[in-house]
Chains A and B, each alone.
Chain A
Amino acid sequence: MDAGGSFTSSNKSQSRNPLQEQILHRRNSRENLDRFIPNRSAMDFDYAHYMLTEARKGKENPVASSPSKEAYRKQLAETFNMNRTRILAFKNKPPTPAESLFPEASSSVQQTKPTKPRRSIPQTSERTLDAPELVDDYYLNLLDWGSSNVLAIALGNTVYLWDATDSSTSELMTVDDDTGPVTSVSWAPDGRHIAVGLNNSEVQLWDTTSNRQLRTLRGGHGSRVGALDWNNHILTTGGMDGLIINNDVRIRSHIVETYRGHHQEVCGLKWSASGQQLASGGNDNLLHIWDRSVASSNSPTQWLHRLEDHTAAVKALAWCPFQSNLLASGGGGGDRCIKFWNTHTGACLNSVDTGSQVCSLLWNKNERELLSSHGFTQNQLTLWKYPSMVKMAELTGHTSRVLFMAQSPDGCTVASAAGDETLRFWNVFGTPEVAKPAPKANPEPFANLNRIR
């Protein structure tokens, strides 16, 4: 019998020649075809060696021990003639999976699907900045991170800019005590202009490149403006008077629409990514969904949905980046729930009691995850897997309620400002490289094969 090219390379085979010959002998002398017909490639040399040297262990006989083995051996004998076989493998081995795949996979393989490798989430903040005079008021919105990677934070009567690329701080503007304090800040989508809501019901627009005030919007609200959001050139403002006003900042008479639905302070305002729907939350425990086309064509004060499920003020609002009609909302201290809504139908999809006041919500742009910030008792940031709402991480460090959160333009870093007058940065949503390319459609992967038949 040919020595079998496959095995000459193995140095182990040299020392086991006796076994080899015995097998060959047996085969030649007895053509016992319903028995295991040994051949080199089917032989299990390690096992045979073990059986010869340490046979007393009395393991099951390698021959005909179970029906499946019998079948296997038969099949081997039938389909496979060692004299005519060589075993080949590619010189170039397939790439080994990235090291980061484990340790997590070790615990996961028994599940129906191998779970994703868990990215490590740093439990402490990357950086902590002092934020003196930060107004500890749940209803305000004093932190925003613009598309030009500059963070704006209002401390008392002053708005500061912190450039994340070079960590430099500058003062944008200060108002006097009659008009202040600042009650809200919001970057325009261009990352250059910023809107500043004030305690005296005015809203100022600033150009941050020239540090110049462009205009003041007044006459809309009767009291402080605690919520702001941009939709292209429309600046939507929400006031303590319960009004929501769309201001077209390009034109002289800037008030283009007024939404009347809240009867207490509006503290949460968020436009959907498409700019079609606006979500607003108020101290009246109401969550409204406004539709631009409905509002402008019909009665301008009519909401698309009025959602009354929260039992405390609704401030935390976040539109899902991967599902256009999905909104997450969080309730205040008396409610403590994160709720998910289909804003087309107004249906509540899920509600999770977090056990603590929900101050702010942010979606991970790269993964199906939601980050919430909380107040008493732990003052933590909680990362949730969506839609299972399994807690992935709890980040503690703040010593007072985490009032505001803002997300870096790359979506990876989160800044949080709390009543303890600190601003902390968390690397909670992964590293920028993690951003995945959109999966390409690839219906015919083996296209190199001819399909002629």
Chain B
Amino acid sequence: MASRTVAKDIITLRGSAAIVSEFFGYAANSILYNRGVYPEESFSKVKKYGLPMLLTQDEGVKSFMANLTAQLSEWLEAGQLQRVVLVIMSKSTSEVLERWNFSIETDKEVVEKGVSREKSDKEIMREIQAIMRQIASSITYLPCLDEPCVFDVLAYTDKEVAVPFTWIESDPKLIANPQMVKLHSFDTKIHKVDTLVSYKNDELDD
């Protein structure tokens, strides 16, 4: 924390990894809330990124998120994480209905040589805020999730990553003929995160 006040605009790999994994935690919570995967009353409001954000109070979901963000943070620091996907599936049929795709580009030079980059906190927060707003407003165009849903998170990592004890390999859980909407990006100058939501195209052919 002290280093932050002294040199405000310097960003390290570790700091960037923390920002990105924290972003993912909030984004996932926001998606679960806005898409109604868990009941509204299991969320409570906090202030983050200059916005009211909702966080789950369900102990199970909370610990899932905590484990997830901890692991993501580790991979991000090693530059091994390429993408995180939050998948929303039908509870009864396991059909994939929505994929929230966060692809991550890592500046390899930073990982390999341990250099730092410059970008102000404020600017990063502003970029994240724009994404969060888009997530919250996505319900206006995403189709209804009119059945009970569950979610899962997929992490796309480098091939050489040893599979952690608590993880298993998974199929990509793709959607047949999806509609896609690209959201804003944010860039810590070390990790660049692109957000995209794809969803099941329910429209009938004309």
Mark A residues whose CB is within 8 Å of B: 2, 5-7, 9-10, 41, 43-47, 50, 57, 59, 62, 68-69, 71-72, 75, 79-80, 83-99, 101-102, 105-110, 112-117, 436, 439-440, 442-443, 445-446, 448-453
Contact = CB atoms under 8 A, between A and B. Distances in A.
Given A72-B180, A105-B36, A453-B15, 7 more contacts: A6-B171, A75-B194, A80-B156, A87-B172, A90-B64, A109-B36, A451-B4
B14 A453 contact: yes
Interface residues of B, number: 87
B153 interface: yes
Given A10-B171, A95-B58, A79 B146 contact: no
Contact of A101 (B39, B144, B170): B39
Nearest to A449: B18
A90 B182 CA distance: 26
A90 B68 contact: yes
Contacts of A97: 37-39, 91, 148-150
A238 B153 CA distance: 64
A80 B83 contact: yes
Interface of B: prevailing SS: mixed
Contacts of A452: 1, 3-4, 12, 14-15, 18
28 contacts: A6-B171, A46-B176, A50-B176, A75-B196, A79-B105, A80-B82, A84-B158, A85-B156, A86-B169, A87-B156, A88-B161, A89-B154, A89-B169, A89-B170, A90-B152, A95-B60, A95-B64, A97-B39, A97-B149, A99-B148, A102-B147, A106-B144, A445-B55, A449-B69, A450-B15, A451-B4, A453-B11, A453-B16
A71 B21 contact: no
A102 B145 CA distance: 11
A6 B157 CA distance: 11
Across the A-B interface, the 4 shortest Cβ-Cβ residue pairs? A453-B15, A114-B36, A95-B60, A89-B170
Given A68-B181, A85-B159, A116-B39, A94 B166 contact: no
B48 to A, nearest CB: 9
Contacts of A443: 46-47
Contact of B171 (A2, A9, A80): A9
Contacts of B205: 57, 59
Task: Give the most central of A2, A87, A116: most B CB within 10 Å.
Answer: A87
A62 B30 CA distance: 31
B61 A95 contact: yes
A72 to B, nearest CB: 5
B158 A75 contact: no
Interface string B2-16: 011000001110111
Interface string B109-151: 0000000000000000000000000000001000011111111
Nearest to B69: A446
B41 A7 contact: no
A445 B25 contact: yes
B152 A86 contact: no
